[in-house]
Chains A and B, each alone.
Chain A
Amino acid sequence: MQVKPSGTLDEYLAPVTIEEAARALADGRASVLAGGTDLMLQAANGRTPYRGRLVNIRRIAELRGAAITGGRVRIGALTTVTDILNHAELAKAVPVLRQTADKFASNQIRNMATIGGNICNASPAGDMIIPLLALEAEVELASWDGAKIRTREVALEKFFTGPGRTVMERGELLTAVSFAVPEAGHRVRFAKSGPRPALEISTVSAAFAATCKDGVTTNVRIVLGAVAPTPIRARSAEALMEGAECSGDLAARAAKAAAGEISPIDDVRASAWYRTHLTEVFVRRLIEDVCHG
């Protein structure tokens, strides 16, 4: 067996604190390794060549684990998909994260894959990203400015700039993702489609969030994955539903509007036509599930 990753790898570091990691990344000539389930494959096929120094962040204990404090959920970048699946408190507060984790790859991949890696990989089909956008999450970034740690927060919706591209600067580390605990009655659901139920990159994924009270929908968020260069919010479909009475053909109309907001591609997984069709079906079903379920 011969695996020859692209790029050079002449240094390996395994820092145990955020500061050590930020310093190791500061010159922009390092690759961050979390679970490696994207990076190792992309380095092998040439898409993301190694940058010379490999910084394995997995030993930074403060980056792992999820906690709910003061009405906010904060999930450390190194929290694995398995951790999310097993986190009882998190599952109770935001069931959609466990629901999504359950549809993610297979057990052996879930054990390695981190939520930070899923976000930083910036695939339009990244599954964990979809419910996080519906929860209006933001990410925390840290870097070394030469003398101290510099941090900033970015709304997840503003984070992605294209397939595999984000606003993150070289040398920045994603440390956590956080969002407000949804208000009582606010429900969030996720759906994904692929030829197989598991171990599959989504051909279309979607999340729908809303509060349906006294027959009226508010706080509507519709997120679509794998149908545009980045995951997107279907804003005009959201506007159509916001404050509307959830009856009659509202779900069908909103689903049609959402399908009109996407820019899908033809590829080996599905044609653009099929992606459009799936988007409409998924959004309609999710709305019916949340509003009438």
Chain B
Amino acid sequence: MPTVSMTVNGKEVSAEVETRTLLVQFLRDHIGLTGTHVGCDTSQCGACVVHVDGKALKSCTRLAVQCEGASVTTIEGLAANGALHPMQQAFHENHGLQCGFCTPGMIMSAVDMVERLGNKLDEKTIRQELEGNICRCTGYHNIVKSIAAGAEAMK
């Protein structure tokens, strides 16, 4: 079995994995970071979005071995020293979640959105950019509100 090493949330990690191990399985089962969720495992729902070398992608469609040497950020990597990340805080304050299943992916996509498009995001942009994330509970309204507020707060 190949050994894979990468940096996850700033920490070096390394493990022996089967080639077929998905990045999301590696994160959840090998290093115990269960914040990244699996909704569909067919690249549709976005519950598994993480950042790899600064780009948002779906960790159910990436093998762990492909991330050799990469820098990965998961939802657990956002809060610094116990304080919520401004985007997490905004979801909290604006009721941007109900069951919470989609939330880690929503927040990782939202942070990536701000990093690419800046702190002023209008509703249309946010809705369009959320095309890769599905929520079964909220009807999106409060998610959009949360992201606009979180984007402002990330200034």
Contacts and interface: CB of A to CB of B under 8 A. Distances in A.
Contacts of B128: 198
Given A56-B65, A107-B129, A112 B20 contact: no
Contacts of B113: 107
Interface in A38-91: 40-41, 44, 50, 54, 56, 58, 82
A56 B42 CA distance: 20
Interface stretch (B8-16, B43-51, B83-91, B145-153): B43-51
B66 interface: yes
B60 to A, nearest CB: 8
Given A3-B41, A12-B2, A54-B19, A112 B61 contact: yes
Contact of B61 (A12, A41, A56): A41
Most buried by B among A40, A54, A105: A40
B42 A12 contact: no
A155 interface: no
Given A1-B38, A106-B131, A199-B131, A33 B66 contact: yes
A112 B56 contact: no
A37 B61 contact: yes
Given A3-B22, A199-B131, A108 B65 contact: no
B131 A36 contact: no
Contacts of A58: 66
Contacts of A37: 43, 61
Contact of A12 (B55, B65, B112): B65
Contacts of B133: 106
B25 A3 contact: yes
Contacts of B65: 12, 14, 56
A163 interface: no
B30 interface: no
A9 interface: yes
Given A1-B41, A107-B112, A199-B132, A112 B22 contact: no
Given A36-B61, A37-B61, A56-B65, A109 B132 contact: yes
B63 interface: yes
Contacts of B72: none
A4 to B, nearest CB: 8
B41 A14 contact: no
Given A3-B22, A106-B132, A108-B56, A41 B42 contact: yes
B66 A108 contact: no
Contacts of A5: 20
Contact of A111 (B2, B24, B44, B57): B57
Contact of A107 (B24, B41, B56): B56
A54 B44 CA distance: 24
A199 B44 contact: yes
B132 A108 contact: yes
Interface in B63-86: 63, 65-66, 68
Contacts of B22: 3, 40
A105 B132 contact: yes
A193 to B, nearest CB: 16
Contacts of A12: 2, 19, 65
A14 B57 CA distance: 20
Contacts of B43: 37, 40-41, 109
A108 B41 contact: no
B62 A112 contact: yes
Given A33-B66, A54-B63, A106-B131, 12 more contacts: A9-B18, A11-B19, A12-B19, A14-B65, A14-B66, A40-B43, A54-B19, A108-B58, A109-B58, A109-B132, A111-B57, A196-B131
19 contacts: A1-B28, A3-B25, A5-B20, A9-B18, A14-B68, A33-B63, A40-B61, A41-B43, A41-B61, A44-B41, A82-B55, A105-B132, A106-B46, A107-B113, A107-B131, A109-B58, A109-B132, A112-B61, A197-B131
Interface of B: 2, 18-20, 22, 24-25, 28, 38, 41-44, 46, 49, 55-58, 60-63, 65-66, 68, 109, 112-113, 128-129, 131-133
